[in-house]
Chain A
Amino acid sequence: MTESQAKIEAKDLNIGYGDFVLLKDANFQINEHDIFIIMGGSGCGKSSMLRVLTGLVKPLSGKVFVDGVDFTSASVKTKNKIMQGNGILYQSGALFSSMTLAENIALPMQLYTEYSSSQIKELASLKLALVGLAGFEDYYPSEISGGMKKRAGLARALALDPEIVYFDEPSAGLDPVSSKLLDDLILDINQTLGTTIVIVTHELSSIFAVGNNSIFLDGETKSILARGNPNELLKNPPNEKVLQFLTRGEGKNA
């Protein structure tokens, strides 16, 4: 691949809550069309990192650039603009419980596009069909299973044809088959739509199956311990911790 432009760039990020610092001086780039994995042990601040990248929480210091635009200290207007180019799948799906699936997906389109309501309806059905939920338009989130909620959440994240989709633990709580299907879906989206994808996960099979770039966060040193293609990292682990993580603690001979 030729040198591609950085879609997202994190510069000297310090992340934490109040006096409680989770990560220090994190620097990394996410290239366009990448499937970028943020991995690390429980509680090391992966979800917090995602919240900072998506603009939900301000970093203690440092900046996030999206398409070269400073996202962290941007005006509300610029920020909203960037946010509309983001699709986010939350850990629990985060569907609006008072709306049907179709309405959930229609909401961002109603707010930000000029489509007529019949067009929106069609598009919502299409997005649901893309994630394998055709026919579930009029169901409420409480009437579908956890895995289906995740897929519906993904359909909503794709509503505005985003340039970047963020996933928080996409395979948590899914059976192996559904989780594989979701991985395939992620690859499809990436390949057909050229979407840049950022995934927080510690599901090893997903990491190796979909990721082509990654960072490894470490809670003890509060830093990025490793970066690069996860498969390469497995071949040449830069240190013991990364090796342990990528081999489920079984070390070299796994």
Chain B
Amino acid sequence: MKKIKFDIEKDNLILSINGDILLYDDNENKQKLYNAAQNDKITKIVIDATQLQQWDSSLVAIIFELAKIALKRNIKPEKINFPVGLDRLINLALSVDRKPAQILENKKTFLEYVGDWGVSVYNGFNKGTDFLKQSWQALKRLLSGKSVMRGIDLSFALEDCGYKAIPIVTLISFMVGLILAFVGAVQLKTFGAQIYVASLVTIGMTRIMGAIMTGIIMAGRTGASYAATIGTMQVNEEVDALKTMGINPVDFLVLPRMLALTVTMPILTMWADFMGMLGGGFVGVTMLGIPMQKYWDMSVSAITMDNFLVGIFHGLVFGIVTAICGCYYGVHCGRNADSVGLATTKAVVASIVWMIVMTGIITVACEVIGI
């Protein structure tokens, strides 16, 4: 005998349930049943569970669907010998006390999408400039001695993006110097000009590579941690607690981090320049056979103040950009764990994008003023 069997007798739909209904998955039969119930002829639904033994949610789901169809058509199903538990579950499922206040519209026209996108870009721009304004005001408060920023937070932040960042910056910039030297040497060797590897590495590192590498490292290391830390504080209501204590979260959380990164980035950039030159020197001396003294002299003579300062300036700008992106996405983080992940991702991506944009702007500016 079929487990779920139904017959139509005149205008009655008679359903009988037999035996164990566990993990019921005869979708074809189910569909037929629903279709039958929707038939206009039907004015009465009888569900007979006399033969039912064991059952699980798969049966509840079927009865629930049927009950909903019946409800829509104003039919009250007649239940015969229903197990008490099953009956209560169905009643519980049917007794929705509140529907969601807003029904999410997901059918939007193309124009609406474009419109929404435009609005969100506009809002994002406003939020961004607002954040910059707040940070600027926080800085002014600090300078006029009215800030609630604590020295200890600044020193923690300095420590975190200062000497704790040195190992990774050292490693990466040494490797970059090494790679620059290698790649350059292959070409320069064909002209017998491998001594110019020293100049190549020095100019490359000091002008831009040192700053870029440090910037990317710090975006991934520190910018991300800023977004995650402040975002988590948002989730834990810590930011709310600050606000309701009358403490401005920008003064308290954002400012020390921004200051720390702005101060340490130029210094780290200098260090990266130096380590890159060492990396280049390592290749020059051990593989190209350039005497150490000679390599050193070539390197030093290739350093120009312009290049060096432009590099440091890049570092400074990247520091500010990374700090702003990290803190901005932290402060505007949502209220669950998911949004912390999202904030972190956005912070790193935005930092890197803005670094590239700023590099472009600085390069054009340097071109114009002729550095």
Contacts and interface: CB of A to CB of B under 8 A. Distances in A.
A208 interface: no
B137 to A, nearest CB: 11
B237 A90 contact: yes
Contacts of B246: 79-81, 83-84, 112
B245 interface: yes
A219 interface: yes
A108 B238 contact: no
Contacts of A8: none
Nearest to B101: A20
Contacts of B150: 110
B134 to A, nearest CB: 12
Given A20-B101, A219-B98, A220-B98, A92 B245 contact: no
A110 B324 CA distance: 28
Contacts of B238: 94-97
A95 B233 CA distance: 9
A55 B244 contact: yes
Nearest to A103: B152
Chain B interface, >50% SS class: loop
B102 interface: yes
B245 A108 contact: yes
Contacts, number: 51
Contact of A94 (B98, B237, B247): B237
Interface residues of A, number: 28
A206 B229 CA distance: 35
Contact of A111 (B102, B148, B243, B244): B148
B53 interface: no
Contacts of A43: 98
B236 interface: yes
A48 B196 CA distance: 68
Among B150, B236, B238, B244, residue most surrounded by chain A Cβ atoms (within 10 Å): B244
B340 to A, nearest CB: 13
Contact of B247 (A20, A54, A56, A111): A111
Contact of B236 (A94, A107, A156): A94
Interface string B93-104: 000001001100
Contacts of A39: none
A88 interface: yes
Contacts of A83: 243-246
Interface in B219-259: 232-233, 236-238, 240-241, 243-247
B101 A92 contact: no
A91 interface: yes
Contact of A90 (B101, B232, B240): B240
Interface residues of B, number: 17
A106 to B, nearest CB: 11
B92 to A, nearest CB: 13
Contacts of B237: 90-92, 94
B102 A94 contact: no
B236 A92 contact: yes
A84 B242 CA distance: 11
Contact of A97 (B98, B236, B244): B236
Interface string A211-233: 00000000110000000000000
A72 interface: no
Given A20-B102, A108-B245, A56 B148 contact: no
Given A111-B148, A219-B98, A94 B245 contact: no
B101 A86 contact: no
A88 B98 contact: no
Interface in B139-181: 148, 150
A95 B240 CA distance: 11
Contacts of A56: 240, 243-244
A31 to B, nearest CB: 22
A28 B232 CA distance: 35
Given A51-B240, A97-B236, A111-B247, 18 more contacts: A20-B101, A43-B98, A55-B243, A55-B244, A56-B243, A79-B246, A83-B243, A83-B246, A92-B237, A94-B236, A94-B237, A94-B241, A97-B232, A107-B245, A108-B245, A110-B150, A111-B148, A219-B98
7 contacts: A43-B98, A55-B243, A56-B243, A79-B246, A81-B246, A97-B236, A111-B148
User: What 7 pairs across the A-B complex have the smallest Cβ distances?
Assistant: A80-B246, A94-B237, A83-B246, A94-B241, A90-B237, A54-B244, A88-B244
